[in-house]
Amino acid sequence: MGSYSVRRGGWRGLIEEYRQFLPVSESTPVISLLEGNTPLIESRNLAREWCPNLRVLFKYEGLNPTGSFKDRGMTMAISKAAERGVRATLCASTGNTSASAAAYSARAGMMSIVLIPEGKIALGKLAQALTYGARTLQVDGNFDDCLRIVREITDNYPIELLNSLNPMRMEGQKTASFEVCDVLGEPPDYHLLPVGNAGNITAYWWGYREYRERGIVDRTPRMLGFQAAGAAPLVEGRPVARPETVATAIRIGNPARWDDAMAAVRDSGGGVWAVTDDEILEAYGELARLEGIFVEPASAASVAGLKKLLAEGFFGREKATVVLTVTGHGLKDPDTAVRIARQPEQVPADTEAVVRLLEL
């Protein structure tokens, strides 16, 4: 170890790391929890079983500070709001946006108000919003109702809107594409994402396009989006009045970034598909058991999507690189995890009994 010396300085958060690509200046106060720099994990077992000719990697966004990709957009939205002296923030959320908004607002010293659909957000996300100190309103309606109310209020009151309609959210979220290119040294051939309010697939596309326009990479991937079958307006081509899915994060019937997401899909040569709740939960279990990667159900939509496209022969015999964004951590939704997993086995506090049970 003689020649080893300490390595000083770690990741500085995505605004500092990608400052030249973001609309910030010297006078922008950077509100950060050192989000970004999430691992791009190469599949070991799933690809070998499912598609040995593809290179499959998972962009594990659940490892952001509040456990989802939302932190990328929130560091930008809150920093720019702080620059303008904003005092209060508001968002509608299926859970992750509210957790992230509450955390970054707290860090900026702003008051945070979040509107969530009653009974339809995962327990971990509710715990986060409450603990970060957000004023948390449970609305007797769905996400689309919450977003309508939020738009009406932010149109009329000096409160910052933190949904992905906020262009700064998109600016932050596009950095995930930069990270993928920076790690691989080139863009992937395909990028798969779950789609709810349709902001993230749009932001990724903008990120890839920007890297190409600046001459940093010479091509862009095909963007492939996956919605839950009970909440698939982009696939059906019309809003869904009563969206329903176990993947509560993407239980959205009328996405705010509808047109942008469809443009991303079209311009990149990609597509959108629906995956059923059964397919989502199967992929959720397989990702955990085959790779040791625990995500929330909505995140598994991209994995279910890969499986679906493989079954359809979509990738042919091509040797392609495929990146899947898995958007949120599995601990966000412990109820679903415990409900569908194999249950623990009861045993007395006795070595003999344990040995017998395990048939050692």
Told to check if 199 binds ligand F0G by CB under 6 A, we report yes
Binders of ligand F0G among residues 150 to 179 (CB under 6 A) are 164
Residue 117: strand pairing partners? 139
Part of the chain binding ligand F0G (CB under 6 A), chosen from 47-55, 197-205, 281-289, 350-358: 197-205
205, 328, 330, 333: residue in contact with ligand F0G (rule CB under 6 A):
328
User: Position of tokens 């690189």?
Assistant: 321
66, 93, 220, 336: residue in contact with ligand F0G (rule CB under 6 A):
93
Ramachandran angles phi, psi of 328, nearest 5°: -145, 155
Nearer to ligand F0G, 55 or 134 (CB): 134
Told to check if 233 binds ligand F0G by CB under 6 A, we report no
Nearer to ligand F0G, 85 or 240 (CB): 240
Nearer to ligand F0G, 53 or 68 (CB): 68
Ramachandran angles phi, psi of 74, nearest 5°: -70, -35
Part of the chain binding ligand F0G (CB under 6 A), chosen from 38-46, 195-203, 269-277, 336-344: 195-203
Told to check if 95 binds ligand F0G by CB under 6 A, we report yes
Number of residues that bind ligand F0G (CB under 6 A): 22
Distance in Å, CB of 330 to ligand F0G, minimum: 10
Of 73, 249, 261, 259, which Cα lies nearest the Cα of 167? 73
Told to check if 302 binds ligand F0G by CB under 6 A, we report no
Binders of ligand F0G among residues 175 to 194 (CB under 6 A) are 194
38, 43, 327, 336: residue in contact with ligand F0G (rule CB under 6 A):
327
Told to check if 197 binds ligand F0G by CB under 6 A, we report yes
117, 196, 230, 305: residue in contact with ligand F0G (rule CB under 6 A):
196
299, 303, 330, 336: residue in contact with ligand F0G (rule CB under 6 A):
299
Part of the chain binding ligand F0G (CB under 6 A), chosen from 1-9, 196-204, 262-270, 304-312: 196-204
User: Would you state the structure tokens that stand for residue 286, as one six-digit string?
Assistant: 């397989």
Nearer to ligand F0G, 56 or 280 (CB): 280
Query: In what side-by-side order are the strands of the sheet with 271-275?
Result: 40-42, 55-60, 321-326, 190-194, 222-228, 271-275
Told to check if 298 binds ligand F0G by CB under 6 A, we report yes
Distance in Å, CB of 284 to ligand F0G, minimum: 12
Distance in Å, CB of 261 to ligand F0G, minimum: 7
Binders of ligand F0G among residues 63 to 92 (CB under 6 A) are 68, 70
**How distant, in Å, are the alpha carbons of 93, 181, 240, 273 from that of 197?**
10, 25, 12, 15
249, 287, 303, 306: residue in contact with ligand F0G (rule CB under 6 A):
249
Nearer to ligand F0G, 245 or 327 (CB): 327
User: Interface residues with ligand F0G (CB under 6 A)?
Assistant: 68, 70, 93-97, 164, 194-200, 249-250, 296, 298-299, 327-328
